[in-house]
Amino acid sequence: MTSSFKNYFGVNGIKFPRNGLWEFRDAYRFIFTRLAADFATKEIKEELPAVVSHWLHDIYSEPILFKRGSGKKWLSWMMKECGGSQPKIDFSNYPLACRKQAFRFVDLFAGIGGFRIGLQECGGKCVFSSEWDKKAKETYLQNYAEVPFGDIRFFTNEQRSDDFINNNIPDHDVLAAGFPCQPFSLAGISARNSLGKKHGFFCKVQGTLFFDIVRIASVKRPKVLFLENVKNLVSHDGGRTFSTIREIIETHLGYSFFSEVIDSCTLVPQRRKRIYMICFRDPNVPFCFPDFAGTPLDLQSILEKNPDPRYNLSKKMWEGHKNRTSRNLSRGTGFTAFLADTKKPANTLVARYYKDGKECLIPTKTGIPRMLTVGEAALLQGYKNPFKAHPSRSSAYKQFGNSVTVPVVARLAKAISRFLPQVS
């Protein structure tokens, strides 16, 4: 990550304020360069952008992964450079860097922050984020003034003690995660015993990214787990995967377990069905999912009147789409591409959309369709101004296709927040 630091903000031209008010970028550059110049530990050095950007959201805390007293030292550096004034950080160029704190949450497998926006709308403050994809981290930084930490397994692998997790992942009320669904290993207990390894609940999820959620939740004990996944998680491996997840949350962690498949089409003009799991530390909380019934929204409601011509398919590509569709229909399998019915919700936006747009082709007067614009793709997932999409079209499409739907998360977050004061 340090090698990509220059791609974030560069290292020159730091403006030192005299009144103590630091613009976020200048404060970031100042602290980062002081640390990067002589920091020795390679594994932590790679996480310096995350360490510094997280700390700047709470400059009176201790920086993650650093020893006690580091925060005071960094503050003294800043005070010296601004004439002894008490430092303050200006986030005005990052309107999505919310400073409210009705409750605290962590954003794991964060993507581009769909969970973050929805939880911030209810007054939540993000105190920790993690995302391994470099392009998604760039988008996250540009919107929230925060670089997520990388692979969450840096904090949760088997070599890490519970104390390490407890000391380096901040306390929080809500753990939010749209975790990837990897096949669960159900290796036999006898095999684990022969290797001298743990078995039982942890064995069932070892090697999956769900394990990392379980590990953090078992140490930090947040009030709520707020999880999302593809709807097929429910039927994966004959239902055994979902059953394992529920068993671990209820029996091992001692949380309640509420789940529902929700279609986003009444909040955004896209049919996108996802399974949401909401689990309370207090199993007596009488949570109910909010109602998502209503009239599906139509795709034409978010289409631009004068889209950029660069989104138009070429005649050759459109002919190729039609020919492949015809061949594959005749054999009953494979690639198909059809024009979207703009009076209905769009099909599910997927991460591969950038390749050829076949999942949602918009009719035009020329008879040759176009792809969704990046702005339209953002609206299909509920991202509105002032959110900034990644400047690369392919990266933007991938990120929106992998994201949670913001208005769905926001409605669920509102329902969750009502119960937070009741959780002991």
Q: Which residues are known catalytic residues?
A: 181
- E-strand ranges in 80-160 read 88-90, 103-108, 124-129
Nearby residues of 250 by Cβ (< 8 Å), 6 or more positions away: 256, 257, 283
CA dist list (Å): 12 to 9, 16, 21, 39 = 9, 12, 19, 19
Spatial contact of 401 and 350, defined as CB atoms under 8 Å apart: yes
Radius of gyration from C-alpha coordinates of the chain: 23
Q: Cα(150)–Cα(157) distance, rounded to whole angstroms?
A: 13
* 261 phi and psi angles, rounded to 5 deg: -85, 125
Contact 334, 304 (CB under 8 A): no
Dihedral class, residue 33 (left if φ above 0, else alpha if ψ from -120 to 50, else beta)? alpha
Cβ atoms of residues 297 and 382 within 8 Å: no
